[in-house]
Amino acid sequence: MKKPKPQFWVIDTDAPGESRGQFSASGPYPTQAAAEAAIRDDIRNVWEDSCTCLTADKTRPWCKPLHIVEVRRTVEPEITPSIRLLDVTDPI
């Protein structure tokens, strides 16, 4: 089996997902450096689009931590329903 190409994703702990305890993710990126570059570009865009009242405040963090994660395994659940009939009558 051919080894899959590396994939890196950025998990944004400041952006909630669809359910509680989930976060949004962006990617995949081919390298960790590419994921880091995407983070820098995104934060730069947010900074440049922000008003001076936000950029002047040096006491507040701009976002919560971001995680760069590497895909280690990809799985796909397979559900196969099975229905059986059991003979439960006593022979006469």
Report the predicted TM-score, pTM, of the whole model to 2 decimal places.
Answer: 0.71
Taking residue 10's Cβ as centre, other Cβ atoms within 10 Å add up to 21
Q: What is the pLDDT of residues 25-75, one digit of tens each?
A: 999 999 999 999 999 999 888 888 887 777 777 777 777 899 999 999 889
Distance between CA atoms of residues 12 and 64, nearest Å? 8
